[in-house]
Structure 1
Amino acid sequence: MTSATARRPTLAEPAGDEDEQVPFSRIAGLFRPHRGALAGLCALLVVQAGLGVTSPFLLREMLDDALPHRDALLVSLLAAGMIAAALGSGALSVRTTGLSNTIGQRVMNELRVAVYSHLQRMSLGFYTRTKTGEVLSRVFNDIGGVDNVVTGTAASIVQNGTTALAIAVAILVMNWQLALLSLVVVPLFLLFTLRLGGKQRKLARGRTRRMARLTTIVEESLSVTGVLLAKTMGNATLMRDRFAEESREVAALERSAALAGRWQRAARTMSLTIIPALVYWAAGLELAGGAAPISLGTVVAFTSMLNRLLTPATAMQTVGQNVASAKALFGRIFEVLDLPVEIDDRPGARTLRPSGGAVSMRGVSFRYDDDGPWTLRDIDLDVPAGTTTALVGSTGSGKTTLAYLVARLYEVTEGKVCVDGTDVRDVTLASLAAGVGLVSQETYLFHASVRENLRFAKPDATDEELENAAKAAHIHDTLAALPDGYDTVVGERGYRFSGGEKQRMAIARILLRNPPVLILDEATSSLDNRTERAVQAELDRLAAGRTTIAIAHRLSTVEHADQIAVLDAGRIVERGTHAELLALDGRYAALVRGEAA
């Protein structure tokens, strides 16, 4: 059976021209689940737009009728109407802004969760091919960069669109001749800025890629291991220079973005004075020519609405340019969401219910790249339920890869791996994770309390269960003696504890899960002899009664295994007990002699 993946997904390569890959309809689709709330928002915005054009008409009546006739009652009513319209418009503005932000933040939350969830589903191989900083940049920089567009765009489009439409209709009703002049001149000023969007998109693409590199440098160099390496190698200056170079590039792109379109933005400002001046000029010519007089109230009210028309018109263009710039970021976000998931639940996958935990492999072959060399080839292996099988061999022989295929951390390229006779590809990943436990060479602890780290294996575990697991792993007394006990924060990657203590916490964590199949991935290789013996004793107790696959670095730790499989260049070349393989005097015996030497 051959893997169907034609190309291994990664984020290491540029996405290409994101603008072509992301149609606006896909961005708009993010708002589809919130159609009801958007409809309510649109209704409120229409009312707000109507109130916005009420005041100029009341102002015209005030100047042309109420004031010339000194009608105090009418003046009061018109003034009250303008105040009421302003209050209503202001109240609706607060409401629509809040509703718009609520919708936008819901969309942002759904987008972040969707990206995070999709990245969680990616295989272990994806993360060996992809820089962590690149992943972090997609989650934080790219999604954060579209926040303003998502939270404000929908409301801005509807609000400014309805406002512009209402004002356009209102000025046509008020004076169609001046309205036609205005509706011809206003677009001319807006067309002057159309080229700005393309330039902003290009700058946005460059900035996001530079920010991804900057994030990678920060993630790699400011972690505990990165700082330790830089200090011990004396290369802190080199790392600082790398960061400074990338930072300068980001600063240059930011400066270019700030300066882009400065003349176009200046044109918008000038239009606020020039267009009303043209209206006054046209009205003045009409009066000078002896045409039907235009009232002072009409001119003032018309100019007032015209200024209001320029605001939503330019705002709509700004929204368009922001969306155009954000499309580069949306391209990178959707690139993540479009990554094919290499290892996922098959349709109809069932729950694994191990009856004993027997593991079998038939014709298993694997390679990391479709056109790369074979890491494993034609592996046939049986691990009877409740027994221990040790995998030994030189570095690069394929031991860890073979064991990881059982947990389906990688997908077999050919053949199949079964647990209790069931192909691991036919069961859900969640049930497989519950049935197959892993204690790795490098114990990972979150920057959280001991209690939280242990409960990661079993979130509903009681304090008594935590302590019993810790006692079984011979770490309870150490933890209880700490000033904060189980509430002690372990520090970044658990650096507060020694290697042996971290391994024992890993054992306690796996004990809470109690899996029937256990993989021990060179779990003691980095420990000193005394600690290694103590931890190995705990691992032996943990393995008792379970189906165990132990990846051995020190051959002395696998002497009592029920069977030992010797790998060389991705193939099993010998198998048997410790005594049988020594008597064979083959590859295993040579490894033992080499270790003794």
Structure 2
Amino acid sequence: MSGGMSGRGSRVSSGDAERQREINSEAPVVADLGRRIAALFRPYRGQLAVIIVMVLISAALGILPPLLTQRVFDDGLFPPVGGPDLPVLAWLVAAMIAVFVVSSGLGIVQTLVTARVGNRVMGDLRVRLFAHLQSMELGFFTRTQTGVIQSRLQNDVGGVANVLTNTVSNVIGNTVTVIAAGVAMLLLSWQLTIVALVLMPVLVLAQRRVGQVRARIAGRTQESLSEMTAITQEALSVSGVLLAKTYSRQRDETERYAAENRTQIDLQVRQTMSGQVFFALVQVFLSAVPAIVYLVSGWIMARALGEGFDPGITAGTIVAFTTVQSRLLFPLLALMRIALDLQTSRALFARIFEYLDLEPAIVDAPDAREPSDEPGRAGRVEFDDVSFHYPDAASPRPAAVRRAEDGDADSADGGDARDPDDASRAPDGGDPLAAGGARATIDRVSFHVRPGEFVAFVGASGSGKTTIGSLIPRLYDATSGSVRYAGDDVRELRQEALMDRIGVVTQEPYLFHATIAANLRYAKPAATQEELEAAARLANIHDTIQGFAEGYETVVGERGYRLSGGEKQRIAIARVLLKNPRVLVLDEATSALDTVNERAVQRALDDARSGRTTIAIAHRLSTVVDADRIYVVGAGRILEQGTHAELLERGGAYAELYAQQS
């Protein structure tokens, strides 16, 4: 819900919206798409081999009943000499029943194995995509709506489910059936085979054209689903509902959703109808061919009898041929449908692989090492001539990602720790990626913090102080210069190990819709109850938790909305203390609280600082007067530094800020 609600319904003009849909409908180009789809099945080669063997056996068995039917007519019911041959008929009927039983059993096993393989491949793809998104840098999530990302995970992967679960067995089975049926038809009558297949090339060409149309519609359908998911995620979050109610915009939100829903309905109808004329013609063809076969058979037999030669066509041949013909034409129809599904799903696979092809901007170096825990080094933080510019909106990104970012500059609520109405706040107070907005930067900043020191960064909103805090745990990488931890450039350290040593408390803490204990254990899953309580006592929240009816098993609600701001903040502090970091970064940890809660949280922070390097980013100067050193930041640069008393005596920028707040 970022960017305010006032312009939501008219964020773009109708012409712009239509143009955006046209752009979004263009399927992204992904190299070697077919090879990459096939590679998804590589871990299940053994099961695929079993499926293929069963499919081949089932396909071969499927051709036997028509051939046995011919023998039933020509050898059992109407033999050349005498009446029905009951012993032969009995054996043929028994053979037909046996074929049906074996085929049915194989079909059950084949369906089971196919479903397992297909769903596991789909599950692997979903987890792989989720894990890859987890590896993306923070900047990616400030540019992309959470709902758009969720749509890729749910709608796009779900959209290819049928292809992954059924396509392999269906393609193999129908292909083998078509080949076997074609051979059987030729053996029965080459003349009738020509009649049955003469129009097939025309149908294949028509199918390709229909598939192209459906693929384009499918791409637009998924884009519309992404937008609907984003709207739902924004508008129905706790923050979104609260904002809509307080501004009386529920009707507007409903209309916004309804408008996109109408687009989705239209696209779904178009996708459903896009192939109906084609399949209606195919159905007419399939229904007419047997009748034409009867007509041609009669013509051939009449001509043969008139000229005195054997036509080679018997009643059994005609019955068997029309039966085999259905074994050919219906699998052909199924293959055409599969081809259409594959053409349609290519757009979805392309969207999935497009995200998988994104390369994280922040990765471990090949020779990344562990941070030093050596006494005297551990906890030391240094900036050496550091400059930073937030990534430009036009930085290289796959096409669909740029479209999503450019088309929806608003950040989605729920993926970030901030409220949606505050989502435009960049880490430094200004949105680094808002269209047309100024980019927050820091410029040639240098300082050092010794282990155990308490330093603070203060300054006006947008000055760059929070950006400094974001560079320490390497949420972003410096554009130039060096950020060091324990004497080592953070780009040379393993990210996970670096984050283990740094704890961050933000202005708006993020709590999961879970119990207090579960939220605390997010920092240390194996923590004992005693450890939870010890961390809570340090954060000055244990007694409050004990006062709840369910204590540590109290469910806090979505994003902790069942708790007060001070309670949420102190639980977040307890969570950080449970992690026991060497460096504690406090990012405006009390600025959103009232005086009573601020004092409670400040006492918790005072206890939390003990024995740790503490870096506080603060707007309220009263919270940092005890700092060992205060840095005043303005326009991305350090303007002055010193203790509270020294800076007041100097009468500079800090003294002016202090006077304003006093």
* TM-score normalised over the length of structure 2: 0.86
Shift of 1:24: 2.1
1:56 aligns with 2:103: no
Task: Spell out, residue by residue over 1:287-333, the C-alpha distance to the aligned partner (whole angstroms, 9 max, x if none).
Answer: 00114231111110110010111111111111111111111111211
Match of 2:568 in 1: 502
Q: CA deviation at 1:476?
A: 2.0
Q: Is the 8 A contact 1:22 1:327 kept in 2?
A: no
Q: 1:367 aligns with which of 365, 389, 413?
A: 389
Map residues 476-495 of structure 1 onto 2, 5 A cutoff.
476-495=542-561
Look up the match of 1:3: none
In the alignment, the residues of structure 2 paired with residue 33 and residue 179 of structure 1 have an alpha-carbon distance, to the nearest angstrom, of: 41
CA distance in 1, matches of 2:189, 2:71: 14
Q: Structure 1 residues 160 and 512 mapped into 2: Cα distance closer, same or farther (>3 Å)? A: same
Q: Per-residue deviation at 1:16?
A: 4.4
Report runs of 4+ in structure 1 exceeding 6 Å deviation.
none
Equivalences for 1:308-457 in 2 at 5 Å? 308-355=327-374, 356-370=378-392, 373=439, 375-457=441-523
2:181 corresponds in structure 1 to 167
Alignment match, 1:85: 99
> Partners of 1:161 and 1:485 in 2: how far apart?
63
Q: 1:129 to 1:20 in 2, by over 3 A?
A: closer
Aligned-partner SS, 1:289: helix
Q: Could you tell me how far 1:471 is from its partner in structure 2?
A: 2.1
Residue among 170, 173, 176 paired with 1:156: 170
Aligned to 2:414: none
Question: Which residue in the other structure is 1:213 paired with?
Answer: 227
Q: Measure, in 2, the Cα distance between the counterparts of 1:553 and 1:73.
A: 100
Within 1, Cα distance between the matches of 2:144 and 2:171? 38
Using the TM superposition, give the Cα deviation of residue 185 of structure 1 relative to its aligned residue in structure 2, in angstroms.
3.5
Query: In 1, Cα distance between the equivalents of 2:345 and 2:635?
Result: 49
Give me the whole-angstrom Cα distance separating, in 1, the residues matched to 2:481 and 2:51.
56
1:353 Cα offset (Å): 3.4
Structure 1 position 268 matched with structure 2 position 255: no
Q: After alignment, is 396-405 or 483-492 more displaced?
A: 483-492
Q: Which moved further from structure 2: 370-379 or 67-76? A: 370-379
- The AA in structure 1 aligned to 2:36 is R
Q: TM-score, normalised by structure 1?
A: 0.95
Whole-Å separation in 2 of the counterparts to 1:451 and 1:179: 73
Alpha-carbon spacing, 1:422–1:319, altered in 2? closer, same or farther (3 Å): same
Structure 1: runs of 5 or more not aligned: 1-10
Moved more, 19-28 or 553-562: 19-28
How big is each residue's C-alpha offset from its partner over 1:133-160, in whole Å with a ceiling of 9 and x where there is no partner?
1111111111111111111111111111
Match of 1:301 in 2: 320
Aligned pair partner of 1:47 in 32, 39, 57: 57
Residue pair 2:204, 2:336 contacting (<8 A) in 1 also: yes
Contact 2:73 2:316 in 1 (8 A): yes
SS of the counterpart of 2:391? coil
The answer as to whether partners of 1:52 and 1:89 remain within 8 angstroms in 2 is yes
**Amino acid in structure 1 at the alignment position of 2:661:** E
The answer (yes or no) to whether the contact 1:398–1:569 under 8 Å persists in 2 is yes
Q: How far apart are residue 536 of structure 1 and its match?
A: 0.5
- What is the CA-CA distance between 1:271 and the residue it aligns to? 2.0
Q: Which amino acid counterpart does residue 473 of structure 1 have in structure 2?
A: A
Q: Distance in 1 between the 2:269 and 2:347 partners? A: 18
Q: Which amino acid aligns with 2:485?
A: V
Aligned AA (2:104) = G
- Aligned mates of 1:140, 1:285 — CA distance in 2: 58
Residues 136 and 362, structure 2, Cα contact 8 Å, conserved in 1: yes
Partner of 2:597: 531
Question: One-letter code of the match for 1:44?
Answer: M
Match of 2:151 among 115, 119, 137: 137
Q: Give distance in 2, aligned partners of 1:282 and 1:164.
A: 22
Report the equivalent of 1:6: none
Which runs of no fewer than 5 residues in structure 2 stay unpaired? Answer: 1-19, 395-437
- RMSD between aligned residues: 1.8
Which range moves more in the overlay, 186-195 or 313-322? 186-195
The residue identity in structure 2 corresponding to 1:467 is E
Pairwise CA distance, 1:183: 3.0
- Structure 1 residue 396: Cα displacement: 0.2
Instruction: Give the distance between the partners of 1:298 and 1:29, measured in 2 at CA.
Output: 45
C-alpha offsets along residues 349-398 of structure 1, whole Å, 9 cap, x if unaligned?
11223333100010100001358756000010101000011000000001
* Worse-superposed segment, 190-199 or 562-571: 190-199
Choose from 90, 99, 105 the match for 1:76.
90
Per the alignment, residue 29 of structure 1 pairs with: 39
